[in-house]
Amino acid sequence: MANKGNKKRRQFSLEEKMKVVEAVDSGKRKGDVAKEFGITPSTLSTFLKDRAKFEEKVREASVGPQRKRMRNALYDDIDKAVFAWFQEIHAKNILVTGSVIRKKALNLANMLGYDNFQASVGWLNRFRDRHGIALKAVCREDSDRLMNGLGIDKVNEWHAGEIIKLIADYSPDDIFNADETGVFFQLLPQHTLAAKGDHCRGGKKAKQRLTALFCCNASGTEKMRPLIVGRSANPHCLKNVHSLPCDYRANQGAWMTQELFNEWLMQVDARMKRAERRILLLIDNCSAHNMLPRLERIQVGYLPSNCTAVLQPLNLGIIRTMKVLYRSHLLKQILLKLHSSEDQEKVDIRQAIDMIAAAWWSVKQSTVVRCWQKAGIIPLELTDSDTEVAASEPEAASEKLWHSVALATCVPNEINFQDFVTADDDLIISQERIDTEVLQGTEAGENTDEAGSEEEGEASLPQQPKITITEAISSVQKLRQFLSTCVGVPDAVFGQLNGIDEYLMRKVTQTLVDSKITDFLQTK
């Protein structure tokens, strides 16, 4: 009896228990399964009875598959809050160390009212074991790093397997990629050094930033209308504005949220339904893309985590070209102000929206196709011979423009045009959960999704006067007169001007007709 009492009890991990259950499911006799795994019939019965719990724990990833015991933590609410925070941070591929987790646990414990909780090394080890967490350094994506070791294997595996299945039923016209980028829309060349590397998670600097979502297809024949997120819902510069070259939304962080992304997705889905089309949409797994609505006409495919730097077409040069063109617009405005000796005024949201949209529509089809090919999603034979030349044209012209502005505005020598273009590459583009939301178990955005007031960030900018349709028609006529004095004006420019003229004349004619009918009815 004494020897039997001293016998060490064997512990089984969740992974081992699931293997036992799967063996029974495969059709083997229970007695044979018990002998194979060296367990008693009663232990086998217990495993089968608790199988639903095991499956749920593994499926939800709330515990690691190697964990042997399912005892809850002493401070269960702290444990759940820390793990919810960890999942959000891990999804963003942000560096997480043991000391960071312990510090966050203390903060959350304090908010929950626990004064005696100690985030000791022992607590950290138990926390890791409970949730199957291996603390490894997670670095910013880098294409060179990804092309070495396991990174290249992961990329090759995706190219050879999943992507082939995803695109099998779609033509390049119906394969799309969507991605967001941050923009410091008021950034001046001389302030580039201060902005570079700034993540801008909110606060005052959120007034100076926008988040833009872009989407295009693999053939380069279709670029969707951009979605731009600002901080102010009703800026002065958008007063009396009813038409924009993009969709505009706002929240306090000027970033993408699940609600905004899902709203955009539903609008695209509705358009595809009206057009009787079905499309494939490739996206990354940032926090704003994690909970998608039910879609009828869009199949969503997720790019492998940590590989978007080499697999996402928009990240491989399309967004960069847009930023080159946008910064070029800014430089041209600065140069014109310098030439006319006028004071430099801050760019307002309306001007930024116009320039971002103009830059987006100016990205050439050849540039789009080249980036899809670089991602390995469409075949190389679709390449145009002048693709590389076309991609370098905007940067070559902008470099000359930069040199002139840099000299005139005393930009430090160590700053170049590339720094100006990439100054906002590190901006956080999707909303992060805050501690109070983690504790309450709510979705991100409940407290910070509200937009700022119209005064914030816009009060210092002059309100744009309302332009009448008569003034607009007069401006078109002045443009005609000016262009007639120029040499070598392309026919396309005159064609665009004619289109504007026809639209304005049709609008004013309809207004006059409607007013005459109203006057006639009122006299009856």
> Quick one: pLDDT at residue 380?
63
DSSP β-ladder status, 209-217 and 175-184: antiparallel
> Quick one: pLDDT at residue 412?
81
Which tokens go with 329? 């617009």
> Helices (DSSP H) in 203-348: which residue ranges?
258-274, 308-311, 318-340
- Condensed to tens digits (0 to 9), the pLDDT of residues 408-436 reads 888 888 788 888 888 888 787 876 555 56
Q: Report how far Cα 368 is from the mean position of its chain's Cα atoms.
A: 18
> Quick one: pLDDT at residue 367?
93
Burial letters for 107-141: b for 16+ Cβ neighbours within 10 Å, e otherwise?
Answer: ebbeeeeeeebebeeebbeebbebbbbeeeeeeeb
> Quick one: pLDDT at residue 273?
95
pTM of the model: 0.63
DSSP string covering 409-444: TT--TT--HHHHHHTTTT---BPPP-HHHHHHTPPT
Query: Which of the residues in the chain have pLDDT under 70?
Result: 1-11, 14, 54-74, 89-97, 132-154, 160, 192-207, 341-344, 380-394, 431-465, 511-524
List the CATH code of the domain at 168-380+396-422.
3.30.420
> Quick one: pLDDT at residue 317?
92
List the CATH code of the domain at 14-60.
1.10.10
Domain definitions of the chain by residue range = 14-60, 76-131, 168-380+396-422
> Quick one: pLDDT at residue 437?
57
Strand ordering across the sheet containing 298-302: 247-250, 227-230, 209-217, 175-184, 279-283, 298-302
Which tokens go with 95? 């560096």
**What CATH architecture does domain 76-131 belong to?**
Orthogonal Bundle (1.10)
89, 96 contact by CB (below 8 A): yes
Which tokens go with 399? 């470099």
> Quick one: pLDDT at residue 227?
96
Which tokens go with 326? 């946008």
> For 16, what's the count of Cα atoms within 13 Å in the CB-facing half-sphere?
15
Instruction: Decide: helix, strand or coil at residue 494.
Output: helix
> Quick one: pLDDT at residue 282?
94
- Reference 467, options 238, 244, 240; nearest CA is 240
> Quick one: pLDDT at residue 324?
92
E strand or H helix at 382: none
Which tokens go with 334? 């600065």
> Quick one: pLDDT at residue 489?
84
Residues sharing a CB contact under 8 Å with residue 298, sequence separation 6 or more, in sequence order: 265, 268, 269, 272, 278, 279, 280, 281
Residue that has been written with the tokens 């007169």 in this structure: 481
Q: Same CATH topology for 76-131 and 168-380+396-422?
A: no
> Quick one: pLDDT at residue 432?
57
> Quick one: pLDDT at residue 496?
84
Instruction: Decide: helix, strand or coil at residue 96.
Output: coil
